[in-house]
């Protein structure tokens, strides 16, 4: 008879199969302090909080995506066995309603429950949302702990910041003399983590891993660990189970063509070109930005930089990467029309 143990084993096998088919950046999302590679000061803070079971409210922030903010926010409740509510991509009113409902019931063991608000710097109606959120944080202090993640801390108003501990996931160095050594130590730990992933995947397919390529990927995409892993996955697929060759990135000619089509407002041709020629859309943004910054007129650089940073962050959450890239380049066209309507490239 198919008993409960058999059912549990079958469920575990099915979960393993489903996980094996995930993109690597999701498959290897860290779940604890061993697999989420953090800067030492951040790691120490959360390690102590976990060991002492002492938590406040947090705002986890960094200027770049893929640094472990969401991963550690999800991991903390699991590590200590606490309940959690994860909120992302919902309307402001839905978030507040869900927090209200969640706060009605205390944890059976009296331990605080966690509310995780991902991308908390981008509500639909900031003034209204943050005003109500401030009240929620104050009124539920005995039962809830809030963890907010964001890339742009300045968007979070001071009343919210004053009720939370802001934790910077970027590099924090005591002084310039220590900066190089500390950064090297952090990248070394990233390299070891990536090599562990690469070896496991390539060994299973009888492939090989070029250590120098993995090291170059760390340096190229730092601090975005998610993009590092995605880049390795692409190399793995392109090389039939090995991670070798050069860093998957934009060919210079493709960057030039994308820029030329964008500044000449060739929207339809741009869409077709992306579909036919761009296989690693997430690798486009940095190359395009580096190329464009020296060629765009001065008056568009600020809105262009903001749009680029926003697009790079959002690209990690997009289902259709081609459409997301096309949308970013269309946004660049709008910026040019608004801020430099008389500018003509090459004239």
**pLDDT single digits (tens) 88-128:** 877 888 999 999 999 988 888 878 899 999 989 889 899 99
Cα 223 to Cα 78: distance, rounded to the nearest angstrom: 25
On whether the CB atoms of residues 247 and 214 are closer than 8 A, the answer is no
What pairs with residue 149 in β-bridges? 60
Eight-state DSSP code of residue 206: T
More confident residue, 277 or 38: 38
pLDDT one-digit tens code per residue, 71-88: 999 999 999 999 999 998
Domain boundaries, given as residue ranges, for the chain? 31-168, 187-238, 252-339
- CATH no. of 31-168: 3.40.50.300
The 8-class DSSP code of residue 111 comes to P
Residues 244 and 239: their CA atoms lie apart, in Å, by: 7
Tell me the pLDDT band of 11, cut-offs 50, 70 and 90: very low
Tens digits of residue pLDDT in 184-223? 899 999 999 999 999 999 999 999 999 999 999 998 888 8
Please, are residues 328 and 285 in contact by the beta-carbon 8 Å criterion? yes
What pLDDT is stored for residue 182 in this prediction?
84
Give the C-alpha separation, 177 to 104, whole Å: 51
CA distances from 339 to 220, 297, 326, 333, 334 (A): 32, 9, 20, 10, 9
Equal CATH topology for 31-168 and 252-339: no
CATH topology of domain 252-339: Zinc Finger, Delta Prime; domain 3 (1.20.272)
Residues 101 and 99: their CA atoms lie apart, in Å, by 5
Q: How far is CA 158 from the centre of its chain?
A: 24
Residue 185 parent element (H or E)? helix 176-204
Measuring CA to CA, which residue among 62, 223, 41, 42 is closest to residue 154? 62
The pLDDT > 90 percentage for the chain reads 59
Average pLDDT (9-27) is 61
Checking if the pLDDT of 242 tops 50, the result is: yes
């Amino acid at each position: 008879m198919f008993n409960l143990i058999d059912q549990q084993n079958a469920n575990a096998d099915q979960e393993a199969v489903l996980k094996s088919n995930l993109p690597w950046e999701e498959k290897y999302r860290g779940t604890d302090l061993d697999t989420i590679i953090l800067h030492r000061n951040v790691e120490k803070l959360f390690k102590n909080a976990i060991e002492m079971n002492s938590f406040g409210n947090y705002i986890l922030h960094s200027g770049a995506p893929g640094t472990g903010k969401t991963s550690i926010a999800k991991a903390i409740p699991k590590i200590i066995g606490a309940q959690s509510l994860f909120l992302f991509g919902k309307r402001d009113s839905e978030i507040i309603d869900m927090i209200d409902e969640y706060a009605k019931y205390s944890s059976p063991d009296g331990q605080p429950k966690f509310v995780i608000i991902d991308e908390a710097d981008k509500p639909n109606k900031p003034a209204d949302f943050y005003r109500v959120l401030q009240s929620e944080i104050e009124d539920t202090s005995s039962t809830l702990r809030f963890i907010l993640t964001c890339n742009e801390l300045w968007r979070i108003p001071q009343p919210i910041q004053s009720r939370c501990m802001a934790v910077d996931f970027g590099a924090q160095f005591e002084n310039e003399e220590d900066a190089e050594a500390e950064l090297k130590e952090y990248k070394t730990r990233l390299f070891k983590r990536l090599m562990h992933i690469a070896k496991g995947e390539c060994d299973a397919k009888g492939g090989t891993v070029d250590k120098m390529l993995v090291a170059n990927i760390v340096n190229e995409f730092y601090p975005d660990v998610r993009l590092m892993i995605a880049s390795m996955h692409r190399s793995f697929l392109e090389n039939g189970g090995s991670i070798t060759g050069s860093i998957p990135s934009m060919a210079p000619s493709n960057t030039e063509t994308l820029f030329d089509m964008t500044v000449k407002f060739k929207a339809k041709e741009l869409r077709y070109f992306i579909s036919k020629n761009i296989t690693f859309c997430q690798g486009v943004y940095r190359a395009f930005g580096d190329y464009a910054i020296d060629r765009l007129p001065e008056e568009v650089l600020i809105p262009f930089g903001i749009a680029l940073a926003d697009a790079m962050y959002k690209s990690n959450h997009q289902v259709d990467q081609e459409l997301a890239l096309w949308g970013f380049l269309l946004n660049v066209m709008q910026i040019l029309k608004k801020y430099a309507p008389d500018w003509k490239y090459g004239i």
